[in-house]
Structure 1
Amino acid sequence: MKKKAMIAIFTISATVAMLTGCSSGGATKSDDSFSTKAQGAMTAWGFNNTDDVGKARLAHAEKAIPDVTITMDQTAFDAQKFTTRVASGNVPDVVQMDANFVATYAAQGLIMPLDACYSAHKVDGKERYYESVIDAVSYNDHVWAVPQFYQPPAIILNKRVMDAAGVTNADINTSKPDALIAAAKKMYQANGGIPTRLGFDPVATGQTELWILGNGGQLIDDSGKPTLDNPDNQKGLQLLKDIYDAQGGYAKAKSFSDTFDTFGKDNQFVKDQVGAQVDNQWYVNVLTPYVDGVEIDAVPFYGADGQPFTVAGGSAFVIPAGAKNKDAACAWALDLTSLDSWKAAGAARADTVSKTPGAVFTGLFTGSPEADKVIRETYVKPSGNEGFDKTIATFYDIVSHGKSIGTSPVGQQVKSELQNALQAVLLGSKTPEKALADAQDQVMRAYDKAQKDNGK
């Protein structure tokens, strides 16, 4: 599921074109008030590939709102299908989607503001969720979604490779580019100019926002206006280019990393194909079946100021404009992200781990600081593998240091044009300044159109 989610986030050009072509005129006018009277039939879409954690939460919600009959469409969210359904008036009552979509749909009037939903259930979003997480679903002074999960990125270290090259944890410090690149060079290996090991894999296309914001950049201002041409954004792109240039260049490095058996028994840590790599927290779960075949540790991604830094991201529940049972949808979404629901999920995952020889409970990163704390204290115990335990602890240490990239009616266009700029810089066809200026020109056309379509 997570692999598909990552692909969906960054393969978005067609989706972006579709989103910008849809204005608020296709949405149904909604009553934005909410009550706590949850009953009747309710439809939900997007809660796909449900694992033990998801099943436990669904069971909890079923008991919490027993007067609601829920029909689930567990297919993956599809942007084109969603806008078509909203335009036709045939919409689910609640939809799970990537949080990056939320502001775009909010600006178009395709989803409902949920301030009254939170208020009716006496839930304070800034208390229940990390600030960066609730900020990621807020736009124009309203909250538009119920967030869930928060997978912070950090740097997983391959200690076997590092030790052999004489590289220490302190050398893998993103706030000290010269030392970082020197360490990458020590661990890098090639055969005939073709990489056989990346000393440091920055995962540029998957973690672009982390490198931009972590180096003092800004992609979207407080008003929702894109700021891709902010001069500080050049620093992150240039650093990424320097890292790849030190390891054979981006084209060769990317071709090599594309061969990784990322989710399999011959993954890049088992095969010593990387010395260190930027990864989201969920990747620790991928490595747990191979605990005997890897030697890992982790360090935070450090911002330019030398402090731990990470970027918030995850999925969220929205209620479409025209939903027929918004009160049930509100109660259901809030229950799925309640402390008791996450406790049930933690117990389910702990039970799964206990029945799997050698399995490690790596934690649940829920988007809620209270739930994270309770689950960690209750279920995350020493595994007997110091490296895994330190890696798990690192992700817990950084989760409170998250920052939202900002919300905009053209948030998806921002991500798309940022990827175009990144590719141009890494392949050497444009300077960071030129690439970002061109990207800003493109995204501002979409932004100006969105403002016009929404009467601003």
Structure 2
Amino acid sequence: MRARAGLVGVAAAALLLTGCGGGGAPAAEEADFEGEATGTLSGWGFENTDDVGQARLDHAAEQLSGVTVELDQTAFDAQKFTTLAASGNIPDVVQIDRQFVATYAAQGLLLPLDACFAAHDVDPATYYYPQVTQDVTWQDQVWAVPQFYQPPLILTNERVLAEAGVSADQLDPSDQEGLLAAVEQLTEMDGSTPSRLGLDPQGVSKAAMWMLSFGGGIVDESGAPTLDRPENVEAVEFLQRIYEAQGGFAEVTGLVDSFDIFGDGNPYSNDLVAAAVFDQWYVNVLTPYADEVEIGAVPVRNQEGDPFTASGGSSFVIPASAENPSAACAWAIALTSPDAWIAAADARAQTTEEESDRNGINAGLFTGTPENDTTIREQYASAEGYPGFEQAIDAYYDVAAEGTSLGGSPAGQQIQSELEGAVQSALLGERSPEEALGEAQAAAQRAYDQVSGG
């Protein structure tokens, strides 16, 4: 889903930070996170702040009464970030996608934050899900304060499944032939064009997840690219078969691009899909249509048949030349503290009660921390009267612990770009999966060698 991937990218960039930072700041080994948080803190982010974001901002402001926070509420831009870093005119704290933390850390643009966590008595190894901590760990140091965790799974259209006589359990990638038969049975064609999809796997944007579920992966423990692993080739070959069972990648993409994902033309209200891979946020999108849709959910499964998902989300980083690292550290920790998440959950509960179009459905919050998730799930998550939503919410919470990190790399952005280009080429039939991933691996390796000194 190219259109959806772009929208998700915008949503994921919604919490970034800018400002006036400046040169002459302490080097990484000299950063003082123990000092009192005072003065002015420049931040890049909280673009289009919602109820959850505002509640956390308000909580942090109460905790850091001696800090004046100046936010530039524009979206993160990689080129702008590196330009500001080179000039020394960099904000004190910035939110970026966790997948690219290692890229900026390897360039010497970020401060390692182990001392930041220690100064506030937070142990990343126990506070966050292990895979979330792994997302922001590089060379045995933690480089960011994580927030949020949106596990993807297969969101089903129970009305279509029942109509076709297919069980959601048949959408199991560990039984490849069974899944393909189910997809074919669920798909409706208008000539050579699909009018209803059996399964939208998000083959390009979720390619790394599918590779991990096959036992592969896009980087090794050192961050070097591994795009041409045999398991990755097998995953793309399987994706090819899923698309072929529905008329082909180009035809499926054409239908997906026509979806009004956020509005009345959404694919569940209009029975345009029987199932699709979606992150947890999409349950919230569907709440105004709760009386029109019949949803459910099942996890993606690995080739051993075990529930599986991939971790991902955003994080706060502190640039190496930040002028006020102590306040930046305290602010990021305050924004992701248990009290901040409870404040956010309270705000979401109030919004759920006040806005009738939510139909009383509170899908909970996915914070990146097991303890906070459990508390919010037990005290706030609810979809009374809508059993399909209740089951889907539970499925997302249940699968969160089964996540695997995509891994970080000094060449993370280049690797992701090469990956998506190769998978799209293979799914379009321009090259075989082996050829496409082989060429992508060579290009990604060159990028990795350049930035890592290999």
TM category (shorter chain) comes to over 0.9
- Cα distance change, pair 185–307 in 1 and its aligned pair in 2 (3 A): same
The answer (yes or no) to whether the contact 1:36–1:121 under 8 Å persists in 2 is: no
Cα contact 1:27–1:110 (8 A) shared by 2:
no
Provide the residue aligned with 1:361 in structure 2: 362
CA distance in 1, matches of 2:192, 2:383: 42
Matched residues in 2 for 1:124 and 1:60: separation?
21
Q: Distance in 1 between matches of 2:341 and 2:132?
A: 16
Alignment of 1:138-287 (within 5 A): 138-287=137-286
Q: Give the structure 1 partner of residue 397 of structure 2.
A: 396
Paired residues of 2:100 and 2:409 also in contact (CA < 8 A): no
The answer (yes or no) to whether the contact 1:114–1:144 under 8 Å persists in 2 is yes
Give the distance between the partners of 1:412 and 1:10, measured in 2 at CA. Answer: 15
Q: Who is 2:120 aligned against?
A: 121
Supply the distance in 2 between the matched residues of 1:233 and 1:4 (Cα, whole angstroms). 24
Q: Distance in 1 between matches of 2:200 and 2:32?
A: 48
- How far residue 36 of structure 1 moved from its aligned partner, in angstroms, is 4.4
The offset of 1:142, in angstroms, is: 0.6
Q: Judge conservation of contact 1:185–1:246 (CA < 8 Å) in 2.
A: yes
Residues 106 and 112, structure 1, Cα contact 8 Å, conserved in 2: yes
Match of 1:318 in 2: 317
Aligned counterpart, 2:328? 329
Shift in Å at residue 32 of structure 1?
A: 3.2
Q: How far does the alpha carbon of each residue in 1:17-41 deviate from its partner, in whole angstroms, 9 at most, with x for none?
A: xxxxxxxxx9984423421411111
Alpha-carbon separation, structure 2, partners of 1:269 and 1:331: 43
The whole-number CA distance in structure 2 between the counterparts of 1:229 and 1:194 is: 32
Q: What amino acid is aligned across from residue 334 of structure 1 in structure 2?
A: I
Task: Work out the CA distance in 1 between the residues paired with 2:12 and 2:62.
Answer: 37
Contact 2:12 2:314 in 1 (8 A): no
Q: Is contact 2:363–2:382 with CA below 8 Å preserved after alignment?
A: no
Q: Distance in 1 between matches of 2:215 and 2:31?
A: 38
The structure 1 segments of at least 4 consecutive aligned residues displaced by more than 2 Å after TM superposition are 2-11, 26-33
> SS of the counterpart of 2:434?
helix
8 A contact 2:5–2:205 mirrored in 1: no
Q: CA contact under 8 A between 2:12 and 2:97: conserved in structure 1?
A: no
State the shift of 1:206 in Å: 2.0
Q: In structure 2, do the counterparts of structure 1 residues 339 and 44 end up closer, same or farther at CA, with 3 Å as the change threshold?
A: same
Which residue number in structure 1 is paired with residue 68 of structure 2? 69
For structure 1, which runs of at least 5 residues remain unmatched after alignment?
Answer: 12-25
The Cα of 1:381 is off from its aligned counterpart by 2.8
Counterpart residue identity of residue 238, structure 1: E
Query: Cα RMSD between the aligned structures?
Result: 1.8
Correspondence for 1:59: 58
Q: Following TM superposition, by how much is the alpha carbon of 1:321 offset from its aligned partner in structure 2, in angstroms?
A: 1.1
CA-CA distance at 1:8 after TM superposition: 5.4
Cα offset, 1:10, TM superposition: 11
Aligned residue in 2 for 1:15? none
Query: How many residues in Structure 1 have an aligned counterpart in Structure 2?
Result: 438
Query: Equivalent residues in 2 for 1:420-439 (5 A)?
Result: 420-439=421-440
What is the distance in 2 between the residues matched to 1:376 and 1:206? 28
1:47 aligns with 2:49: no
* Structure 2 unaligned blocks of 5 or more: 14-23
Structure 1 pair 235–4 and aligned structure 2 pair: CA distance change class (3 A): closer
Deviations 1:19-74 (A, max 9, x none): xxxxxxx9984423421411111111022111000000000000111111110111
Residue 359 of structure 1: how far off its partner (Å): 3.4
Q: How many Å separate the matches in 1 of 2:239 and 2:302?
A: 14
Deviates more, 1:276-285 or 1:216-225: 216-225
Q: 1:28 to 1:84 in 2, by over 3 A?
A: farther
What is the distance in 1 between the residues matched to 2:110 and 2:12? 23
CA distance in 1, matches of 2:5, 2:207: 17
Which structure 2 residues correspond to residues 13-92 of structure 1 after superposition, within 5 A?
Answer: 29-30=27-28, 31-92=30-91
How far apart are 1:192 and its partner, in Å? Answer: 2.1
Q: Provide the rounded CA distance (Å) in 2 between the counterparts of 1:4 and 1:173.
A: 27
How many Å separate the matches in 1 of 2:337 and 2:6? Answer: 26
Alpha-carbon displacement from aligned partner over 1:111-145 (angstroms, at most 9, x marks no partner): 11111101111110011111111100111111000
Q: Could you say what secondary structure the match of 1:232 adopts?
A: helix
CA distance in 1, matches of 2:152, 2:32: 37
How far does the alpha carbon of each residue in 1:80-120 deviate from its partner, in whole angstroms, 9 at most, with x for none?
11111111111111001111221100000011111110111
2:5 aligned with 1:6:
no
* d(CA) in 1 for partners of 2:420, 2:11: 11
Secondary structure in structure 1 of the residue aligned to 2:230: coil
Give the Cα separation in 2 of the matches to 1:27 and 1:202.
Answer: 46
Between the aligned partners of 1:7 and 1:69, the Cα distance in structure 2 is 29
**Are the equivalent residues in 1 in contact too, given 2:345–2:365 (CA < 8 A)?**
yes
Tell me if structure 1 keeps the 8 A contact 2:32–2:325.
Answer: no
- Superposed CA deviations along residues 349-380 of structure 1, whole A, max 9, x for unmatched, are 00000112213100100101111011111111
| Cα separation, 1, equivalents of 2:7 and 2:36 | 34
Distance 2:262 2:10 in 1: 17
Is the Cα–Cα contact under 8 Å of residues 68 and 328 in structure 1 kept in the other structure? yes
Question: Conserved in 2, the CA contact under 8 Å of 1:27 and 1:109?
Answer: no
Give the equivalent residue in structure 2 for 1:405: 406
User: Which amino acid counterpart does residue 51 of structure 2 have in structure 1?
Assistant: D
Cα offsets for 1:295-326 (capped at 9, x unmatched):
11100111111001000000000001110100
| 8 Å contact kept, 1:10–1:416 | no
Distance 2:418 2:11 in 1: 13
What's the CA shift for 1:4?
5.3
